[in-house]
């Protein structure tokens, strides 16, 4: 079966941090439908998790992306499921293949697997590993080769026997970030993290029989060995139906056959086949140097140097073939070296993520989305450090960094909460301000203006809760100034309306009291209450809701006040007249009385006073009035003066009668004199 590949660069899906921040790519990509279908069949036959029936396949900027979606809840141990999905990929990709023949020249392909809830917008876990085309060959030819299968590579330069300790791959390792001194803002928070990512499988990928230098050099010329029983696998020749070369040392005849073959000559030329193996000691020196470099508190340069030494040790031992007598010892060392470099790679990757998180945290405040992104980066960095084994030399250093990262992760979590609360308070305050504006525009009563005032105050209180250093703080401060001006306007108007309502109610209450006093002819109290009613109505402020109603009250209360004052003057005048008559008539046998009706005042005199008054009246003048002679007694003169004064005070006529009811005279204030009718 022909498996074709495309050379992909290592990039991220959606954004530079590894997680798509908007939406995932389409479920399949042109040419990846067979792989998608292969996953469907595989997961149908081998269910790995409820609801996970397939993996959506996409290619993004050179990376193969696999998305697994399932229903709630999240997987308790996503790392285990992701590793099972990696194994499934290594199985089905051999059967399904990959598009485009130019992948055949790729030495490795970066693969990333995501786990996401169907109802969620973002993945909650991911796993990145490297898949090599030679892995496919190992799977394809597994029936033909046992664990000791022989791969023969011919005509390789002798220089390949000694690996270069400083490989290009080690030089390309990223620097180590210094995460100390992360920026703090006014709230005292530092940077943050993203969703956990499982450790990279690059350092832990199993070594296959096709991982020798010949497969890594497309320009190497590989010649088939002499003799039958060999088939071509790319640039390697694989023996069919043969056991490992080490097994044939026990077979004399087979050994003689191999001695005479070019394959045996090649086998002897491989490292550590004959005699001692200096590579083991050299690799040990590199390993010990790396361990010493990692002791204590290594710097970024120390980490890079240790990584270079470990890679050099691995490069020295990997070419040792399976038929070497030192093979088992080499494999033990390789396993230890690969574990060490995997832990070191995890620390370096964690520091790279930490540096990115720290850089993104600079110059706050930032939107919530950015803080969430930073939060996820810190979480990924912690996930890398948590993979460092306790027996690794870098363990103590990783634990120190893990404590720092957890502190930063918690700080960014608090920052996210603060930003979310600030944004929620800001939006609520804006909604309250809009409601207050509507209340103000439609207020038609004191209660309406008071409610608008309360709404503006509530909006201001909500904006005041937004702490300094958050994204919306500056905008909230500007909004507070505007809301305070609106509150001042509404408060002043509410004060005027309250004063108007108070004066209106006082006017109405005073008018009611005045009417009650009038019914009792208590004109002094009635006039006092009418004056209070008029004054309160006049104090209703202009341009308020009750201004017009106050004017209507004045139209009623002012005449009532005038009437009460007139009635009060009449009552006082009559009281004075009555008192005077009582004094004048006190010596008479017949008392003098005063009667009042709406049109006039009647004064009834005793005969001792009425008759002299009648006799002293002179003939009428041209206007009908008449005067009195000078023969009047002092008492009669005093009586006439009092009648004239009272008539003018009450502005009514005063009719004089004798004790028998006979008419004597009438004083008219409009004429200023007495008449006889």
In 632-665, which positions are buried (b, 16+ CB within 10 angstroms) versus exposed (e)? beebbeebbebbbebbebbebbbbbbbbeeeebb
Task: Say how far apart CA 49 and CA 43 lie, in whole Å.
Answer: 9
Task: Say how far apart CA 545 and CA 161 lie, in whole Å.
Answer: 102
CA-nearest of 393, 388, 390, 385 to 292 is 393
Residues 1 and 124 in one domain: yes
Residues 508 and 636 in one domain: no
101 occurs within a structural domain:
yes
594 occurs within a structural domain:
yes
The answer to whether 222 touches 266, Cβ cutoff 8 Å, is no
Q: CA-based angle 561:564:568, to the nearest 5? A: 140
Which of the residues in the chain have pLDDT under 70?
1-30, 61, 99-107, 133-267, 584, 586-590, 598, 630
631 occurs within a structural domain:
yes
179 occurs within a structural domain:
no
Residues 363 and 439 in one domain: no
Residues 152 and 100 in one domain: no
Per the omega criterion (within 30 degrees of 0), is the bond before 571 cis?
no
Cα–chain center distance at 627: 102
Task: Say how far apart CA 82 and CA 201 lie, in whole Å.
Answer: 11
CA-nearest of 18, 22, 56 to 39 is 56
Domain count, the chain: 6
Q: Which of 495, 511, 528 is the last residue of a domain?
A: 495
CA-nearest of 245, 255, 316, 267 to 156 is 267
The answer to whether 354 touches 409, Cβ cutoff 8 Å, is no
263 occurs within a structural domain:
yes
The answer to whether 408 touches 378, Cβ cutoff 8 Å, is yes
188 occurs within a structural domain:
no
Q: Where are the beta strands (DSSP E) in 545-631?
A: 593-596, 600-604
Q: Order across the sheet with 600-604: list the strands.
A: 593-596, 600-604, 653-657, 663-668, 673-675
Structure tokens at 643: 């009648």
Phi/psi of residue 22, each to 5°? -115, -75
Residues 333 and 297 in one domain: yes
Residues 4 and 117 in one domain: yes
Residues 455 and 534 in one domain: no
Q: Which of 385, 417, 449 is the last residue of a domain?
A: 417
Q: Which of 417, 448, 474 is the last residue of a domain?
A: 417
Residues 336 and 457 in one domain: no
Q: First vs last Cα of the chain: how many Å apart?
A: 148
Residues 3 and 105 in one domain: yes
Residues 307 and 437 in one domain: no
230: containing domain: 146-160+210-277
DSSP state letters, 223-284: PPPSSSSEEEETTEEEESS---HHHHTT-HHHHHHHHTSHHHHHHHHSTTSSS--HHHHHHH
577 occurs within a structural domain:
no
At 78, which CATH number? Answer: 3.30.300
326 occurs within a structural domain:
yes
Residues 442 and 360 in one domain: no
At 523, which CATH number? Answer: 1.20.58
Residues 126 and 8 in one domain: yes
Task: Please give the model's pTM, rounded to 2 decimal places.
Answer: 0.43
């Amino acid at each position: 079966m022909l498996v074709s590949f495309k050379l992909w660069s290592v990039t991220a899906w959606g954004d530079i941090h590894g997680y798509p921040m908007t939406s995932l790519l389409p479920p399949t990509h042109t040419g990846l439908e067979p792989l998608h279908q292969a996953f469907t069949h595989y997961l149908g036959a081998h269910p790995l998790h409820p609801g996970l029936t397939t993996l959506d396949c996409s290619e993004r900027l050179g990376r193969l992306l696999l998305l697994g979606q399932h229903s709630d809840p999240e997987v308790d141990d996503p790392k285990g499921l992701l590793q099972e999905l990696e194994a499934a990929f290594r199985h089905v990709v051999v059967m399904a293949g990959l598009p485009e023949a130019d992948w055949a020249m790729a030495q490795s392909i970066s693969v990333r697997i995501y786990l996401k809830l169907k109802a969620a917008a973002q993945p909650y876990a991911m796993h990145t590993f490297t898949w090599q085309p030679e892995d496919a060959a190992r799977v394809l030819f597994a029936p033909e080769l046992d664990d000791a299968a022989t791969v023969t590579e011919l005509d390789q330069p002798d220089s390949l026997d000694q690996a270069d300790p400083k490989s290009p791959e080690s030089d390309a390792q990223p620097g180590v970030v210094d995460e100390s001194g992360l920026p703090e803002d006014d709230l005292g928070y530092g940077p943050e993290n993203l969703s956990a990512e499982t450790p990279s499988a690059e350092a832990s990928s199993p070594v296959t029989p096709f991982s020798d230098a010949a497969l890594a050099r497309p320009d190497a010329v590989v010649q088939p060995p002499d003799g039958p029983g060999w088939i071509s696998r790319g640039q390697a020749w694989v023996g069919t139906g043969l056991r490992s070369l080490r097994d044939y040392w026990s077979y004399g005849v087979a050994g003689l056959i191999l001695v005479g073959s070019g394959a045996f000559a090649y086998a002897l030329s491989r490292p550590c086949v004959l005699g001692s193996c200096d590579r083991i000691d050299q690799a040990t020196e590199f390993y010990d140097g790396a361990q010493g470099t990692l002791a204590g508190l290594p710097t970024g340069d120390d980490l890079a140097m240790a990584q270079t030494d470990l890679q050099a040790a691995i490069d020295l031992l990997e070419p040792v073939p399976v038929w070497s007598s030192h093979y088992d010892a080499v494999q033990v060392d390789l396993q230890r070296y690969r574990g060490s470099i995997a832990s070191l790679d995890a620390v370096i990757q964690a520091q790279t993520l930490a540096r990115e998180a720290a850089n993104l945290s600079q110059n706050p405040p930032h939107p919530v989305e950015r803080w969430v992104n930073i939060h996820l980066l810190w979480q990924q960095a912690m996930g890398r450090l948590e993979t460092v084994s306790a027996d690794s030399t870098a363990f103590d250093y990783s634990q120190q960094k893990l404590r720092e990262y957890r502190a930063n992760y918690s700080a960014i979590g608090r920052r996210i909460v603060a930003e979310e609360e600030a944004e929620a308070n800001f939006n609520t305050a804006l909604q309250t301000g809009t409601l207050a504006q509507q209340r103000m525009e439609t207020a038609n009563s004191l209660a309406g203006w008071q409610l608008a005032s309360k709404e503006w105050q509530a909006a201001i209180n909500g904006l005041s809760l937004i702490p300094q250093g958050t994204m919306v703080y500056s905008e909230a401060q500007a909004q507070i100034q505007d809301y305070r001006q609106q509150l001042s306007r509404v408060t002043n108007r509410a004060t005027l309306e309250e004063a108007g309502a108070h004066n209106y109610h006082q006017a109405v209450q005073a008018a009611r009291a005045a009417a009650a006093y009038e019914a009792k002819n208590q004109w002094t109290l009635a006039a006092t209450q009418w004056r209070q009613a008029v004054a309160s109505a006049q104090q209703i402020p202009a341009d308020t809701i009750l201004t017009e109603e106050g004017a209507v009250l004045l139209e009623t209360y002012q005449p009532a006040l005038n009437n009460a004052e007139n009635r009060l003057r009449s009552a006082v005048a009559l009281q004075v007249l009555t008192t005077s008559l009582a004094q004048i008539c006190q010596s008479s046998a017949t008392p003098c009385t005063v009667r009042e009706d709406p049109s006039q005042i009647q004064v009834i005199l005793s005969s001792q006073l009425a008759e002299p008054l009648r006799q002293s009246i002179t003939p009428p003048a041209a206007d009908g009035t008449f005067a009195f002679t000078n023969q009047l007694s002092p008492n009669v003169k005093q009586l006439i003066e009092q009648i004239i004064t009272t008539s003018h005070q009450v502005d009514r006529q005063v009719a004089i009668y004798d004790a028998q009811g006979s008419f004597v005279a009438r004083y008219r204030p409009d004429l200023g004199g007495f008449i006889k009718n």
